Structure 1
Amino acid sequence: MNKGEQTKSAILDEAAELASLVGLGGLTIGTLAAATKLSKSGLYAHFDSKEALQVEVLRRARDRFGDVVLRPAIKAPRGEPRLRAFFDHWIAWQSEGYGGGCIFVNAASEFDDQEGAVRDELLRAERDKLESISLVVGTAITEGHFRPDVDPAQFAYELEGIILAHHHAKRLMRDDAAAERARRAFERLLADCRVVGAPALAPAVGALTSTPSSSAAAAAPTA
């Protein structure tokens, strides 16, 4: 990575943090210039427009989600342990990914009815994330942890519902029990899918302690 790329990478990190606090719609070349003490002209050298900046911020946050949630979870054994790791890292992301909470949840409420490149990027990230969850559920079926008739897409839908409820309870309601409530709901979801008589399977030791890379890797699903 050359100096120009390093500079842009650092700017995007600052922009993503700012967007989590003021909203993606509130992220402009001007607000970013004020936050970073950089000139508007200097920022326009990296981003052609407000919309281009917003799209690149979403892609940057998507890479970070991959570093913090997806790639560490994949290190857990296939099936239910991997789903548990995914859930644990995803819950942590809600609190620790960015100072203002999950940038994708916040942006979805802003752009769900606004056609354009930003909504398209959010939609692409959401579909990729749900597909990733469905694939992991599929491994739980093939490993014999879940019943063969479990619908992976339905599981992904319900799991995201738990995560969204957690975000609402933690960020808006400031409920100290938000994480525990989410975990109880997740355990019920697992139990409903599990093969009768099969024990609960925890993630492998160390699966939740891996340190994510600070550099962006290939595009990964988001939250």
Structure 2
Amino acid sequence: MTQERIDGRRMRGDESRRAILAHAVDTASVDGLDGLTIGRLADAAGHSKSGVATLFGSKEQLQLAVVAAAREVFIDHVVAPARASTERGLGRVCALLTLWLAYSETRVFRGGCFFAATSVEFDSKPGPVRDAVVAASGEWEDYLTVSIEHAVAAGELPELIDARQLTFEMVSFLEAANTRSLLHASTEPYARAATAVRSRLIGLGGDPELVATVRGSRAN
């Protein structure tokens, strides 16, 4: 078999894997990672069950691949744009919070925030999949905490003592907006979360004009 044929088969396999993963991530945001099966994905993607099994192996390997794919999507929609458009400090914190709200509200994943959903699904199920969800969620919270610490070091949040505590509060506002929006089919929770975020940051001495850039709803 020529190298050209091998490379062509590998390329087609990579394309199939990406297409199946995109469908799987969206499905898992609604039905959960445990709702994913090789057979179901094969039917939805128009592939054979054996073909999908060859690409992913076991159900656990499929779940791990889906978590990794969701992490990349999250980075592309939240972290990377914030880093590209802002300097370290309060401006980046505001950008991260605004982009997270937009990521959830615009339904990048049909079921809202993928990690908010899977964290609830796997919070009491030990194993590699839970570990992967914990690692991805922790990576986001660590990055937000470091960004807050940069704002503190720059004197932009003079009243803040504990950056990790503020991260906990901010993530709680964001995830509450995600859950309530899905439950009530409303964008209002995003506007309310943004109001809570702005109030907290201003209370910590944040520049009101900069903090005002945090927006929770496209209508707000």
Q: TM-score, normalised by structure 1?
A: 0.85
Question: 1: distance between equivalents of 2:146 and 2:119?
Answer: 23
Percentage identity across paired residues of the two chains:
33
Task: State how 1:18-29 maps to structure 2 within 5 Å.
Answer: 18-29=27-38
Contact 2:201 2:211 in 1 (8 A): no
- 1:40 alignment partner, one of 49, 57, 67: 49
1:62 maps to what in 2? Answer: 71
Q: Structure 1 unaligned runs (5+)? A: 205-223
Aligned residue pairs: how many? 202
2:170 match: secondary structure: helix
1:89 maps to what in 2? Answer: 99
- 1:162 alignment partner, one of 159, 173, 180: 173
Q: Which stretch shifts more, 117-126 or 95-104?
A: 95-104
**CA deviation map 1:100-140 (0-9, x unaligned):** 21111111111111111110001111111111001100111
Question: Computing the radius of gyration over CA atoms, which structure comes out larger, 1 or 2?
Answer: 2
Task: State how 1:149-188 maps to structure 2 within 5 Å.
Answer: 149-188=160-199
Q: 1:199 to 1:171 in 2, by over 3 A?
A: closer
Residue 134 of structure 1 aligns with an amino acid whose one-letter code is: T
Residue 179 of structure 1 aligns with an amino acid whose one-letter code is: Y
1:200 match: secondary structure: helix
Q: Structure 2 unaligned runs (5+)? A: 1-9, 214-220
Residue 16 of structure 2 aligns with an amino acid whose one-letter code is: T
Structure with larger RCO (C-alpha < 8 A, sep 6+): 1
Deviation >3 Å, runs of 4+: none
Residue 107 of structure 1 aligns with an amino acid whose one-letter code is: T
Contact 2:158 2:204 in 1 (8 A): yes
1:142 maps to what in 2? Answer: 153
CA apart distance, 1:199: 4.2
Question: 1: distance between equivalents of 2:160 and 2:111?
Answer: 39
Q: How big is the alpha-carbon RMSD for the aligned residues of Structure 1 and Structure 2?
A: 1.8
CA apart distance, 1:48: 1.3
Normalized per residue, which structure has more helix? 2
1:219 maps to what in 2? Answer: none
Do structure 1's residue 99 and structure 2's residue 110 form an aligned pair?
A: yes
Contact 1:33 1:43 in 2 (8 A): yes
1:7 maps to what in 2? Answer: 16
1:72 maps to what in 2? Answer: 81
Q: TM-score, normalised by structure 2?
A: 0.86
CA apart distance, 1:176: 3.6
